[in-house]
Structure 1
Amino acid sequence: MSLFGKMYPWSKWRKHEALWEHTELRPHLPETAKLSHGQLLVFLDKYRVVYVKPCYGGGGRGIIKLTRDEDWVQVQTLTDKKTIAIDCLYAYLAQIIGKKSYVIQQGIDLLDIQDRKIDFRVLLLKPRTKWVFMGSMGKLGVKGQVVTNHCRGGKSIIVHNAIQESTDWQGEQIDELEQTLHRLGHQIAQVLERRFPLISELGLDMGIDREGNVWLIEANTRPHYNLFKHHKDPALYNKIRGTIRRLRSVRPGFPKKTVQTRSQSHGNDAKFPKNRRNGLFIPHPRSRTKTAPPGRLNARTTADECRLRSRA
């Protein structure tokens, strides 16, 4: 891996590894592992619900929810839902996933409002030398949907209102949970920055379970922020947008050899590649190597060898 690749957290697995090294954060991290046949069976034996997620990408794309019921597992994607015999599950997942690298993660029983799951986006930016907490917003998912993402139909909701409407907790307890989201966000940002010094944006997706425990579900290093249009501070969205635009145009700390202008890399009249971001050329990690990334899914049993059984 190049120096640039080591300094920027391309994959969910690398971010999880960096956070897991710090024991004070472990109570807030769902159990996570690289997907394999063995780990799939271990997780389904320990947890009724688990999630299978692509190492690369965002927006909820590729996420699969697995819910075990004795010898059967309900497999739910963004667009489909089937029930598969557990002994054929790995082969079925291999058909969906192909050669992409995935992780498997413990499912958390999140707070909900009328069966619509809730999680929270905590946004931190680093415009200069220190991380700044910009704000937090709740995300109310579509009923029955795998993810709560805004781009998948999720709705914005004020954090205090989300907790109040989904529990019988009182004001002081709610305030304490909001402070925990804020404090934990700063801890995570500082830990990730020590391992990946090029990051300057963090959109942390956090959840709260029925016992009031706070969990980090995912850390996004190029976060969407449209949900902050509905924040109680009407000026916050424009402040966030302006700060992120400056960060993405300047990118302080990026090594000069990997940050190229249009004229430097392709000439003034050349068509710029798709991974151009606001004047910067950031090479995609998978374009720099022909070797398979760790954690790649390879089915031991093909569909021909294992006739998939579905239950009506």
Structure 2
Amino acid sequence: MLATLAAAVPATIPSPDRGVWHLGPIPIRAYALCIIAGIGIALWWGERRLVARGGRPGTVLDVAVWAVPFGLVGGRLYHVATDWHVYFGPGGDPLGALQIWNGGLGIWGAIALGGVGAWIGCRRHGVPLPIFADAVAPGIVVAQAVGRLGNWFNQELYGEPTTLPWGLEIYRRVDPATGLEDALGGVALDPTPIAVVHPTFLYELVWNLAVAAVVVLADRRFRLGHGRAFAVYVAGYTLGRFFIEMMRTDPATRVLGDLRINVVVSAVVFAGAVAYLALAPKGREEFAQPDPPAGSETTEREDA
């Protein structure tokens, strides 16, 4: 029976044969669907956690109206800035900088500019930003995990060749109409892999789920407040990203000799998160979100 089971389990992890499907002239991109699903999970979970902390139902969605667009723009700006040569270097494609559907969102830019959007939304709805950040922290890192599935569909962000049983099969994708290679929009017509590599996107996915669990457990055990739950998320995520980033083989901007820029940024952000954890006030602040002013848009929506 064990021999039969072993034979049934694949020796490697296959990649999807494509990352884009077409509904008539409309392309349905797996990467975009994963991002949308992740945002949905973050909103749902963040809502539950904020209400438990004294927030009004619907506030997370109200703040997300500001935070999500800011975060998407910030994530894309960071990606383009750190991989500028792909778009603006010799032989680059400047218009590709706008094609977010082809992948390429930098978490650092998303968090930084998304935080600006969240700050605006929080001010408009009477929620201190640290309380909001603590509420949405585990949902954000789970959203990142779900987003990493998009890298699987896109066959991107992987590591060196490996013989380990969880190696990822990479296929040559082509445009069926022309036979020309198309790594993102094409289809794998030949099931023979051209490489078997470390699935670094999967390592990060698993790590992110573990970080979410740590944030929740630490929050329950120590009643984290004043932004410290968010700092645990940032410290945990950057710790894993530091090592996983060094395993990746995709082109990246190099700094300080031959270090990938995201390795350096991970180390700096990790240090900042740990310092914040050490210096921030202990315990959880008391909070009761004030009712919106009479006649405001929020009041009208709640009365409808």
TM range (shorter): under 0.3
Q: TM-score, normalised by structure 2?
A: 0.24
Q: TM-score, normalised by structure 1?
A: 0.24
Structure number with the higher helix fraction is 2
